[in-house]
């Protein structure tokens, strides 16, 4: 019996370690494990995911960039076109910006997931925004989640400044 608990413990620990978040709190890992379990279940291709939000007063992503600064978080609602989605569990998406950068939208606390085939669709997202330096390890993790080749993952060698939004809810159309 104890061998069985040990095996289950190793599986849970592995799921927590290889999750989509660089955070290490138990609640987030539990949320990610649940998302991973449900990742292959069918989600509707469009709709409201996470907390219910509205489209009203959303800024176009490029216009929101002037408001997003380093070390200052604030509430923001924006809209744009989805470029990439986490192929592991649908726990993040990116919006490609005209300046060549991408805005990373994380599903807040891994509380919900979005369809993994949402690239190319329009999104409205509401949450807390910041510009932060993403470490190499996390960039490689994101690349892995996006389904990038090992060669592309291995080429990541420098941290990058990214615009991020921890979204309490999103609408996808």
The encoded tokens of residue 23 equal 């955070």
* Predicted pLDDT at 153: 97
What are the structural domains, with CATH classification, of the chain? 2-172 (2.40.50)
Express each pLDDT in 16-58 by its tens digit.
333 444 443 334 444 444 545 554 568 999 999 999 999 999 9
- Per residue, what are the HEC states of 120-163? CCEEEEEEEEEEEEECHHHHHHHHHHCCCCHHHHHCCCCCEEEE
Q: What is the mean pLDDT of residues 128-140?
A: 95
Q: Residue 130 pLDDT more than 80? A: yes
Residue 106 DSSP one-character state? E
Q: Is the pLDDT of residue 143 over 60?
A: yes
- Let me know: does 172 contact 118? Beta carbons within 8 Å: yes
Mean pLDDT of 152-171: 96
Residue 118 has pLDDT above 90, yes or no: yes
Quick check: 73 pLDDT over 80? yes
Residue 66, SS3 per DSSP? helix
Q: Would you state the pLDDT for residue 14?
A: 37
Average pLDDT over all residues of the chain: 81
Q: What is the pLDDT of residue 100?
A: 86
């Amino acid at each position: 019996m104890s061998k069985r608990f040990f095996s289950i413990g190793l599986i849970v620990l592995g799921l927590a370690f290889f999750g989509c978040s660089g955070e290490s709190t138990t609640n987030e890992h539990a949320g990610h494990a649940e998302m991973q379990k449900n990742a292959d279940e069918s989600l509707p291709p469009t709709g409201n995911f996470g907390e219910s939000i509205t489209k009203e007063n959303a800024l176009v992503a490029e216009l929101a960039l002037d408001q997003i600064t380093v070390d200052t978080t604030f509430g923001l609602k924006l809209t744009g076109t989805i470029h990439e989605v986490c192929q592991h569990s649908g726990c993040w998406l990116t919006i490609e910006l005209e300046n060549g950068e991408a805005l990373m939208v994380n599903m807040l606390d891994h509380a919900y997931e979005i369809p993994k085939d949402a690239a190319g669709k329009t999104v409205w997202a509401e949450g807390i925004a910041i510009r932060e330096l993403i470490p190499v390890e996390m960039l490689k993790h994101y690349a892995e989640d996006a389904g990038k080749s090992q060669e592309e993952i291995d080429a990541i060698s420098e941290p990058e400044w990214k615009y991020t939004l921890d979204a309490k809810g999103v609408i996808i159309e």
